[in-house]
């Protein structure tokens, strides 16, 4: 799935490419991903112009000059692609928006898990989880003091806490692993087991890993449908040597998700079922 650094890159590229473009046609291939929350369907966007592209947590929003918005939650497998009208859009295509200059925006989702909402501008109430997003970790509101307040009294495992979008908006699987590796914290550690110094280090790791990820994705200059993961140190690197100490990277289950970690750099704080 596109995670925060990916979405920042996609947002910037789409805003630049789509600004003021007039829509000439919309071709829908997979209606199952759509949630139409306006009286008219997607045909109401024909002749409308893109006014803005924005990100809200894991959602990507598109504002139009006719008073409508399209909000997309890509979830597990959603991806965006820019190309000409005649270019191949790839597998899993759900819809294409065609513009007057021959440019087309394609949205694909092999698993059909993502959702595309068409709403009246600003009417987010019926979009699940949209209004329940926690503090944006790229915003000025995400301060050390705020972070200490959010984690205080939490009984969750730390990786579960990091990925709770009602608290922090929004850290995904890959960057949760990278943040905990950077902070040298085992993913199954409970929040209440962390010292004040460890919480402070975790806050700094969130900033450093996410902003570094944004820079790496930008530097790679890949098409927006490509996930850039070459800079990852532990994610999906099971059975390879840790880049810091050479210990074998391991994988463990945390609340139904795969977590990757170094058992030496991130020692467990409590007895585990498996002695890594």
Reported confidence tier of residue 82, pLDDT bands at 50, 70, 90: very high
Q: What is the pLDDT of residues 97-114, one digit of tens each?
A: 999 999 999 999 999 999
Rounded CA-CA distance 1/79 in Å is: 8
pLDDT in tens, 115-144: 999 999 999 999 999 999 999 999 999 999
Of the candidates 12, 120, 9, 136, which has an alpha carbon nearest to the alpha carbon of residue 71? 120
Q: Do the Cβ atoms of 188 and 236 come closer than 8 Å?
A: no
Mean pLDDT, rounded, for 221-226: 96
Please compute the mean of the pLDDT values over residues 81-108 and round it to a whole number.
87
Q: In the numeric block, which tokens belong to residue 48?
A: 């409308």
- Mean pLDDT value of segment 234-258: 96
pTM of the complete model? 0.94
Give every CB contact of residue 16 below 8 A, 6+ residues apart in sequence: none
Which of these, 128, 177, 169, 6, lies nearest to 77 by C-alpha position?
Answer: 6
Helix (H) or strand (E) holding 262: none
> According to the model, what pLDDT value does residue 269 have?
76
In the chain, pLDDT over 70 holds for what percent of residues? 95
On the CB side of 246, how many CA atoms lie within 13 Å of its CA?
0
Report all structural domains of the chain as residue ranges with CATH numbers, in order of start: 4-120 (3.20.190.10), 135-261 (1.10.8.50)
Tens-digit pLDDT profile for residues 141-195: 999 999 999 999 999 999 999 999 999 999 999 999 999 999 999 999 999 999 9
Vertex 12: Cα angle to 6 and 13 (nearest 5): 90
Q: Select from 135, 151, 144, 130 the least CA-distant residue to 69.
A: 130
| 92 CB burial (10 A radius; 0-12, 13-18, 19+) | middle
pLDDT in tens, 20-55: 999 999 999 999 999 999 988 888 999 999 999 999
Whether residue 79 contacts residue 108, with contact meaning beta carbons closer than 8 Å, is answered with yes
pLDDT band at 246 (very low <50, low <70, confident <90, very high): very high
Q: Is 275 buried (19+), middle (13-18) or exposed (0-12) by CB count in 10 A?
A: exposed
> Which neighbouring-strand residues pair with 28?
95
Give the mean pLDDT of 205-230: 97
**Helix or strand holding residue 93 (H, E):** strand 93-99
- Rounded to whole angstroms, how far apart are CA atoms 197 and 58? 29
pLDDT for residue 81 is more than 70: yes
Biggest CA–CA distance in the chain, Å, is 62
pLDDT over 90 at 216, yes or no: yes
Above 70 in pLDDT, residue 94? yes
Inform me whether the pLDDT recorded for 271 exceeds 70.
Answer: no
What's the rounded Cα separation, in Å, for the pair 47 and 14? Answer: 18
Using a pLDDT cut of 90, give the percent of the chain over it: 91
pLDDT(88) > 90: no
Q: Are 176 and 162 in contact (CB under 8 A)?
A: yes
For the chain, the straight-line distance linking the first and the last C-alpha, in angstroms and rounded, comes to 29
The mean pLDDT of 227-235, rounded to a whole number, is 97
Nearest to 108 by CA among 91, 87, 86, 85: 91
């Amino acid at each position: 799935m596109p995670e925060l650094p990916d979405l920042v890159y996609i947002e910037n590229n789409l805003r630049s490419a789509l600004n003021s473009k007039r829509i000439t046609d919309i071709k829908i291939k997979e209606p199952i991903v759509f949630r139409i929350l306006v009286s008219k369907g997607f045909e109401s966007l024909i002749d409308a112009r893109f006014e803005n592209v924005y990100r809200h947590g894991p959602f990507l929003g598109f504002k139009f000059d006719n008073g409508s918005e399209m909000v997309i939650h890509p979830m597990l497998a959603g991806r965006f692609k820019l190309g000409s009208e005649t270019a191949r859009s790839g597998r899993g295509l759900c819809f294409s928006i065609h513009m007057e200059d021959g440019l087309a925006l394609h949205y694909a989702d092999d698993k059909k898990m993502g959702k595309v909402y068409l709403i009246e501008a600003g009417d987010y109430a019926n979009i699940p989880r949209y209004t329940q997003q926690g503090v944006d970790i790229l915003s000025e509101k995400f301060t050390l003091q705020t972070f200490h307040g959010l984690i205080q009294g939490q009984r969750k495992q730390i990786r579960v806490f990091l990925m709770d979008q009602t608290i922090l908006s929004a850290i995904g699987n890959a960057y949760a692993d990278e943040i905990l590796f950077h902070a040298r914290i085992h993913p199954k550690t409970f929040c209440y087991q962390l010292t004040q110094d460890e919480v402070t280090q975790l806050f700094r790791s969130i900033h450093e890993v996410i902003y570094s990820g944004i820079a790496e994705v930008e530097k790679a200059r890949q098409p927006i449908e490509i996930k850039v993961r070459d800079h990852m140190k532990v994610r999906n690197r099971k059975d390879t040597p840790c880049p810091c100490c050479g210990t074998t990277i391991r994988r463990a289950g945390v609340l139904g998700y795969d977590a990757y970690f170094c058992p030496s750099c991130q020692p467990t704080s409590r007895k585990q079922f498996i002695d890594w």
